[in-house]
């Protein structure tokens, strides 16, 4: 298929899945605008160059160059990434810390993680995949405790109760209360 078409297909499919998930919980604008920066030259061209199909091209770029310029560009423009919310701490004993994310971005981050798991795991996807990935990675995250608690709660709910119940809970209990 080629790297260009493979990468374009991957990001389009990912955007479609996130949009579908965001729509299920009532985040229509976020669903439509999710990850638009992936089409910018900085992100798209690196994505084509490092496309492999079974993992993020950002990992391959990082391995090749020691840094992923595409990732730095992406996380600085997309509020659904916990890394967007890292800032200098007001506490004297900490230099940098994860700031509390607005709930709508935590929900978009949840939808993003589920979609990424579906995209990369394909027919082998299970509702436990996003939680398992989070569990393996969370030790190095710089994330606000309340943000982490909500994200983890939703990932565990997805793993234990499935998509339908989790999306209904988000719409009914989390986003409804916020308004």
> How many folded domains does the chain comprise?
1
Q: State the pLDDT at residue 178.
A: 61
Q: What percent of the chain has pLDDT over 90?
A: 89
What is the mean pLDDT of the segment spanning 160-167?
98
What is the Cα–Cα distance from 108 to 2, expressed in whole angstroms?
Answer: 30
pLDDT of residue 93: 81
d(CA 66, CA 39): 23
- Asked, for residue 94, whether it belongs to a domain, the answer is yes
2 Rama class: left (phi>0) / alpha (psi -120 to 50) / beta: left
Domain-located, residue 62:
no
Task: Determine contact, residues 155/123, Cβ cutoff 8 Å.
Answer: no
Give residue 111's pLDDT: 98
Domain extent for 146: 3-35+78-178
Mean pLDDT, residues 17-34: 97
The pLDDT of residue 30: 97
Do residues 51 and 6 make contact, with C-beta atoms less than 8 angstroms apart? yes
Residue range 70-88: mean pLDDT, rounded:
97
- Mean pLDDT across the chain: 95
Please report whether residue 58 resides in a domain: no
pLDDT exceeds cutoff 90 at 124 = yes
Q: Tell me: the pLDDT tens digits for 42-71?
A: 999 999 999 998 889 999 999 999 999 999
Q: Measure the CA–CA gap between 176 and 62, rounded to whole angstroms.
A: 40
pTM exceeding the 0.85 threshold for the entire prediction = yes
Q: Is residue 174 part of a domain?
A: yes
Q: To which H or E segment does residue 87 belong? A: strand 86-88
């Amino acid at each position: 298929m080629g790297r260009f078409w493979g990468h374009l297909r991957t990001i389009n499919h990912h955007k479609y899945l996130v949009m579908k998930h965001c729509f299920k919980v009532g985040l229509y604008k976020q669903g439509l605008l999710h990850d638009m920066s992936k089409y910018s030259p900085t992100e798209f061209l690196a994505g084509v160059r490092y496309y492999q199909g079974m993992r993020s091209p950002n990992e391959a770029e990082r391995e090749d160059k020691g840094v992923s310029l595409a990732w730095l560009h992406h996380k600085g423009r997309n509020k659904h990434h916990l890394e967007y919310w890292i800032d200098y701490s007001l506490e004297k004993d900490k230099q940098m810390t994860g700031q509390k994310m607005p709930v709508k971005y935590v929900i978009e981050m949840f939808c993003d993680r589920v979609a990424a798991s579906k995209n990369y795991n394909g027919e082998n996807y299970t509702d436990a995949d996003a939680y398992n990935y989070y569990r393996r990675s969370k030790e190095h995250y710089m994330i606000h405790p309340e943000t982490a608690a909500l994200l983890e709660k939703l990932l565990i709910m997805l793993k234990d109760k499935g998509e339908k119940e989790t999306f209904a809970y988000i719409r009914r209990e989390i986003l409804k209360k916020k308004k």
